Amino acid sequence: MSLVPIFTLTTCGGFKLHKWISKDPKILYSIRDVNATPAEVLDLGKNENTRTLGLLWDPIKVYFKYKIRKNSPGRLRKTKRNILSQIAQIFDPLGLLRPVIIRAKTILQEIWEAGLGWDEVLPNHIHTSWCKFADGLTYLNDIKIPRHISLKNPESFQIHGFSDASTNAYGACVYLRAVDSDENVLIRLICAKSKVAPLKKGTVPRLELMGALLLTELVIKVKSLLKINVSREIYWTDSSVVLGWLSTSPSQLQIFVGNRVAGITEQSKISDVKYVRSSDNPADPVSRGVRGCELAGLELYWVGPRWLKENENMWPVRDFRNEYLPEIKKKVFSIAVALGDHFVQFSKFSSLNRLQRTTAYIFGNSRNSNI
């Protein structure tokens, strides 16, 4: 590989490029200007990191990592303005830190619910929650994310997405499953996304459905950006109610649920939506949140459930037969009975026994006379 054409073209235009970065020293050598002095040539050291899009990239070991600084003592006053500013400083374009960041967003939602001004001091319980969260942010610096998400010579790719919801948030995470000719399997987390639950709290099944819709949209976006031939997309959820809704016609469901079921079924196949146990669902920490010190060692989140590396016949299979599903439209029947001249006036009877006997007599004669 050579970047000589780019280097030469920009030099002719008077734009002399420098500070090239690559994990391969040969590439850097190929663009070296013969008239350049040693000071003009960038030589990456073994311990040198370069910030890229707010992340740190180690070009020698080929992984990304985060650099989050501890808050200075001068910013001890906790207000809505300062907290929002600190959250915005965590640049996470792929959403890989969502299990931690969702905790910050739920705290921010509590501040909005409390009706606090931008510079008002936080109540004690919110202040304590935020301090515990902020103290764990520096642990994120220990996370190392491999840059490569595939095997060297893959033969097939699959996308696996997981969704989940809690009372406070819902989210989804997407993985790439690569298989080579020797049946070696590599699972890599591509991205994750989560949203806090609306202030007007809905039921958990509704939030689970919103998480499934979020997952569907996220998988479509990932597939369009990867530019690879994906043989199959599989969507996993641990909600039996959501699986029941997806097997029901949207016209039979209440408007809120029906619209979201239609959105999912229009963009994915029902046969590709499967059940996963809550204990094996890597989207669980995305919706519930974890502490900063826990994320680096959360194997389930980074590489998915262990059985995902096995053959498909080892994956969990479970069928649901929901006799009762919430959010089903109620069917109302109206029955009109015409009795003609034999209409019984209840007000003329002072005894329930006589009313029953008279009504039975009238209906009996009606059947015999084919009225």
228-274 tens-digit pLDDT: 899 999 999 999 999 999 999 999 999 999 999 999 999 999 889 99
Tokens standing for 232? 């199959």
Q: What average pLDDT does the segment 156-164 reach?
A: 96
**For the ranges 10-14, 181-185, 223-227, 341-345, which has the lowest average pLDDT?**
341-345
Class of domain 150-314: alpha beta
Per-residue pLDDT, 44: 40
Sorting pLDDT into bands at 50, 70 and 90, what band is 38?
very low
Q: What percent of the chain has pLDDT over 70?
A: 79
H/E/C letters for each residue in 90-154? CCCCCCCCHHHHHHHHHHHHHHHHCCCCCCCCCCHHHHHHHHHHHHCHHHHHHCEEECCCCCCCE
Sorting pLDDT into bands at 50, 70 and 90, what band is 47?
low
pLDDT reading at 113 higher than 60: yes
Q: Greater confidence, 230 or 321? A: 230
Half-sphere exposure of 111 (CA within 13 A, CB side): 26
Per-residue pLDDT, 41: 41
Q: Residues 95, 282: contact at Cβ < 8 Å? A: no
Q: What average pLDDT does the segment 193-222 reach?
A: 94
Which strands form 144-146's sheet, in the order they lie side by side? 50-52, 55-58, 63-65, 144-146
**For the ranges 220-234, 237-251, 353-367, which has the lowest average pLDDT?**
353-367
Alpha-carbon distance of 363 to 360, in angstroms, equals 5
Give the gyration radius of the chain's Cα atoms.
31
7-30 tens-digit pLDDT: 667 778 777 766 666 666 676 666
DSSP class of residue 58 equals E
- Name 147's Cβ contacts closer than 8 Å, sequence gap at least 6: 57, 62, 63, 64
Residue appearing with tokens 């002072």 = 350
Alpha-carbon distance of 135 to 128, in angstroms, equals 11
Q: Which of 46-50, 177-181, 351-355 reaches the highest mean pLDDT?
A: 177-181
In angstroms, the Cα distances linking 180 to 68, 150, 152, 155, 354 are 37, 10, 8, 5, 85
Per-residue pLDDT, 204: 94
Q: What average pLDDT does the segment 161-182 reach?
A: 95
Amino acid at 328: I
**For the ranges 11-15, 106-110, 123-127, which has the lowest average pLDDT?**
11-15
